[in-house]
Amino acid sequence: MRFLLVEDNEELGAAIASRMSFDGHVVDHALTIADASGFLETGEYDLILLDIMLPDGDGRSFLKAHRNSQSDTPVIVLTARSQVSDRISMLDLGADDYVTKPFDHAELQARCRAVLRRKHGTAQTVVTLGDVTFDPVAGHITVHGTQTFLRNRELRLLEVLITAPGQIFPKQKLVDRLFSYDDDVSENAVEVYIARLRKHLEGSCLTITTHRGLGYRLDNV
């Protein structure tokens, strides 16, 4: 998954990004509302983690504008405000959840998983498609009873493909999902991870089809 973190505290932001990256997520870190807006203009995100008190404005204004743009990207607010009225106002503006500072990183990770499950219309983390069972939290797939652990980018690539079987994903879109703006990569890097996933899926009913000039699609055959 690709996350946008909007947090002006560089130390806290680095800690959050590190933990999320360790879980295999791609994280772009914006220190200001202006930076965050720039990221959103050029990238697509699965989740936004939004601080409220920012150097160039109030995160609530950013949240309101984000929702007015008709974007359905989930937003979890990171706030030091503990008043019930403050939390209610953020939920009313369109936040999907909130975490009060200081927070435990494990709680934040759990809330991220819960919000993403709701977005995908499921209460379960594990996905079963055909004869393949995929557990993104545990980091493995099971094919015909054989369990295989995936490396981080293999994991996130399969997560993208398996949530939309039959949909063609262009290479550039997969690059955007797998790598941050700080990573110096080409579209060819995607081919490496596609090849690894194909090997893991051998013998299953799932196959990754190449559509030349268009991208890749996960098919259940």
What pLDDT, on the 0 to 100 scale, is given for residue 85?
A: 76
Pair (7, 113) in one structural domain: yes
According to the model, what pLDDT value does residue 51 have?
94
Number of domains into which the chain is organized: 2
In this structure, the answer to whether residues 85 and 154 fall within a common structural domain is: no
Q: What is the separation of C-alpha 128 from the centre of its chain, rounded to a whole number of angstroms?
A: 20
C-beta of residue 161 within 8 angstroms of C-beta of residue 152: no
pLDDT for 54: 94
Domain residues for the domain of 174 are 127-220
41: CATH = 3.40.50.2300
Q: Which of 98, 109, 3, 94 is nearest to 46 (CA)?
A: 3
- pLDDT at position 163: 83
Mark which of 90, 119, 148 sits at the end of a domain: 119
Q: Which of 93, 119, 145 is the last residue of a domain?
A: 119
Quote the pLDDT of residue 120.
67
Give yes or no: residues 87 and 134 share one domain.
no
Does residue 137 share a domain with residue 49? no
The answer on 6 and 104 residing in a single domain is: yes
The pLDDT value recorded for residue 188 is: 83
User: Last residue of a domain, which of 74, 89, 119?
Assistant: 119
Instruction: Verify that 73 and 176 share a domain, yes or no.
Output: no
Measure the CA–CA gap between 151 and 110, rounded to whole angstroms: 20
pLDDT, one tens digit for every residue, the chain (221 residues): 889 999 999 999 999 998 888 877 889 999 999 999 999 988 889 999 999 999 999 888 999 998 898 888 999 999 887 677 777 888 888 899 989 888 888 889 888 988 888 876 654 578 899 999 998 878 899 998 899 999 888 988 998 899 889 999 999 888 888 887 777 777 788 999 999 999 999 999 999 999 998 999 999 98
8 & 39 share domain: yes
Domain at 135, CATH number: 1.10.10.10
Domain identity same for 82 and 171: no
Q: How much is the CA Rg of the chain, to the nearest whole Å?
A: 18
pTM equals 0.71
Same domain, yes or no: 107 and 192: no
Say if residue 6 is in the same domain as residue 111. Answer: yes
| pLDDT for the residue 118 | 81
